[in-house]
Homo-oligomer: A and B are copies of this chain.
Amino acid sequence: MDTKAFLGIQAVSTDDATRGKWSMVVRPGLVTGGSFLWGGCGLAAAVSAIEELSGRTCVWATAQYLSYARTGETMEVDVTLAVVGHQITQARAVCRVGEREILTVNAAVGERPFEHAHSFVQMPDVPLPAALQQREHRGDITNTIHEKMDERFVIGRELEDLDGMPNDGRTLMWARIPDVIEGVDTATLAVLGDFVPMGVGQALGVRGGGNSLDNTLRVVRLVPTKWVLLDIHIQAVERGFGHGTVNMFAEDGTFLATASQSCIARMWREPK
């Protein structure tokens, strides 16, 4: 399936060339362990709708998370193309469950001729996913997004290694969504880019993580790949909030995209 089928997002109506409505049911497999929509899936749905209405590929998109959408709820995605230029469209999408605003996405999509192109970020030298093991999760992942993802640590701490000592802030992980056989697009990267909260627990070395305040994605260049290498850097945890970045690479080494995020840092609620 493609990412639209994976997300279950469907066009409802198009008012005119600059406004449209999409809808998706928050299905099991799109949610966190807390049974609410995985932030990256929200950004993915919005960007996917924006790309469809505009006919252009994402350059940059930011989601602001305002509330939670729970399993079984229906989320409506309202897209507005605010400025449509010759090469670039500036867009926004508001995602709601009933009257409740779940997230707002601002984005720029397009393509421009420019005589210079260069990637200044190199993929680190890492083992291939086939040589690595699936990472362990703390709880049952049935009916969560993690059931739909393969996640293999290159640099990462398993649960028993969370010793309360901060490391250098870096987590390296291969990830893929096996259901999405059409290849990696912007929406896939949005789903896979939502790992700063996990990185916060990894960086601090604690049984914790966070809830996203935002999710910012900058798409450099798309090439066919199944696995995506996530090079996660936590920059700081201060005032109760974590901040970090995720550089994303294709199997052939292409620098695909970079994501960044701030989150509410939280310890896990442990069973008593």
- Min C-beta distance of A43 to chain B, whole Å: 13
Partner of A220, one of B101, B115, B243, B266: B243
Decide: A106 and B168 in contact? CB cutoff 8 A.
Answer: no
Counting every copy of the chain, the complex holds 2
State the main secondary structure of chain A at its contact with B: strand
Residue among A82, A233, A241 with most chain B CB within 10 A: A241
> Chain B residues near A118 (CB, 8 Å)?
166, 203-204, 236-238
How many Å lie between the Cα of A60 and that of B263 in the bound state? 9
The interface-forming segment of A26-34, A130-138, A254-262 is A254-262
A23 at the interface (CB under 8 A from B): no
How many Å lie between the Cα of A117 and that of B66 in the bound state? 25
Decide: A206 and B116 in contact? CB cutoff 8 A.
Answer: yes
A269 at the interface (CB under 8 A from B): no
Chain A interface residues (CB < 8 Å from chain B): 57, 59-60, 62, 64, 66-67, 82-83, 87-88, 90, 92, 101, 104, 106, 108, 111-121, 166, 168-169, 203-204, 206, 208, 213-214, 216, 218, 220-221, 233-241, 243, 245, 247, 255, 258, 260, 262, 264-267
How many Å lie between the Cα of A121 and that of B233 in the bound state? 9
Q: Closest 7 A-B residue pairs measured CB to CB?
A: A112-B240, A120-B169, A114-B240, A60-B262, A64-B106, A220-B236, A108-B213
Quick one: closest B residue to A266, CB to CB? B114
How many Å lie between the Cα of A267 and that of B114 in the bound state? 9
Residue among A87, A203, A220, A235 with most chain B CB within 10 A: A235
> Chain B residues near A234 (CB, 8 Å)?
120
- Min C-beta distance of A258 to chain B, whole Å: 5
Decide: A245 and B243 in contact? CB cutoff 8 A.
Answer: no
Contact flag A121-B88 (CB < 8 Å), given A206-B116, A216-B260: no
